[in-house]
């Protein structure tokens, strides 16, 4: 089931675009389309006032997406999808399922989006000024140079959707082959969890230690890998450790047979989650 991932500011018009996409693929291309909308999960926009509930929302959408995705029908995921690390996790799911995906960025200005928000009839469907401003501030725009955001279609308010190009990106392109970092495999190595803990901790320690002597813009060699980590700013140990814990949880459900690849996997995960 190819995936169309919508992203954009709150009240930017994503749901309208999602419905247009569903109508095109259903009526013109005669595809079976499933529209998974954040609006079906969130009945009250005040959920964004609570960080834990917001996290639960993302988890619920991801779980439902993982349940629905296949290689047959089309899945449209209508939501803010404003965290690039979250989009990366969704990309890993499509890759492990050997299916294609594309990203549609509804690029409405924050001023226009706020006006559209105020026009909503029901109060529960409107964002408060505080929640709206917070989501806009935290929004991480997609970048077509990132494999998890590509192919990227950026749509302005007055634009027509490029339906044929979107269809071609899904049905005339080969799906990326699953690799060790996305393919679920049995735990064949009894040392996997031990190696996972050691490798990730060593990388975190290397970045922390390097910051004591390096300056912003320097590259740090990653242990057990040919990759180099670019110091874009100063990173707190707590921030790196939090991402490390998230990766360990992710890796437990996506284990690998080739232990040396763990370093490269964690490097990619770390860089995609750091702003």
Q: Which domains does the chain have, with CATH numbers?
A: 3-171 (3.40.50.300), 192-273 (no CATH)
Question: Per-residue pLDDT for 147 more than 60?
Answer: yes
Q: What percent of the chain has pLDDT above 70?
A: 92
Grade residue 20 by pLDDT with cuts at 50, 70 and 90.
very high
Grade residue 275 by pLDDT with cuts at 50, 70 and 90.
low
Q: What is the pLDDT of residue 262?
A: 83
Distance CA 219, CA 227 (A): 10
Question: Per-residue pLDDT for 248 more than 60?
Answer: yes
Mean pLDDT of 206-213: 90
Q: What is the DSSP letter of 161?
A: P
pTM of the model: 0.68
Distance CA 90, CA 101 (A): 10
Mean pLDDT of 32-56: 85
For the chain, how many helices (H) and strands (E)? 10, 7
Grade residue 66 by pLDDT with cuts at 50, 70 and 90.
confident
Structure token pair of residue 199: 């490798």
Q: What is the pLDDT of residue 183?
A: 46
Question: Per-residue pLDDT for 71 more than 50?
Answer: yes
Mean pLDDT of 211-218: 89
Cβ atoms 70, 1 nearer than 8 A? yes
Distance CA 54, CA 266 (A): 25
């Amino acid at each position: 089931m190819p995936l169309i991932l919508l992203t954009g500011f709150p009240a930017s018009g994503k749901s309208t675009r999602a419905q247009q996409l569903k109508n095109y693929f259903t009526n013109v291309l005669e595809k079976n389309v499933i529209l998974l909308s954040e609006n079906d999960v969130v009945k009250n926009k005040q959920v964004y006032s609570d960080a834990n509930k917001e996290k639960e929302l993302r988890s619920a959408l991801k779980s439902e997406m993982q349940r629905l995705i296949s290689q047959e029908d089309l899945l449209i995921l209508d939501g803010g999808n404003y965290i690039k690390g979250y989009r990366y996790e969704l990309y890993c799911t499509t890759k492990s399922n050997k299916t294609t995906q594309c990203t549609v960025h509804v690029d409405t200005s924050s001023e226009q989006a706020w006006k559209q928000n105020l026009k909503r009839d029901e109060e529960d469907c409107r964002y408060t000024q505080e929640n709206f401003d917070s989501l806009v501030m935290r929004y991480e725009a997609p970048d077509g140079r990132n494999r998890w955001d590509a192919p990227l279609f950026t749509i302005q308010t007055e634009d027509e959707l490029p339906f044929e190009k979107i269809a071609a990106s899904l049905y005339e392109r080969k799906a990326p082959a699953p690799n060790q970092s996305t393919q679920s495999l049995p735990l064949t190595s009894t040392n996997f969890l031990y190696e996972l803990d050691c490798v990730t901790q060593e990388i975190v320690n290397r970045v922390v230690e390097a910051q004591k002597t390096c300056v912003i813009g320097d590259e740090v060699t990653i242990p057990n890998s040919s990759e180099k980590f670019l110091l874009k700013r100063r990173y707190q140990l707590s921030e790196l450790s939090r991402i490390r814990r998230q990766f360990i949880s992710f890796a437990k459900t996506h284990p690998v047979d080739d232990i040396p690849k763990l370093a490269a996997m964690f490097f990619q995960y770390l860089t995609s989650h750091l702003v």
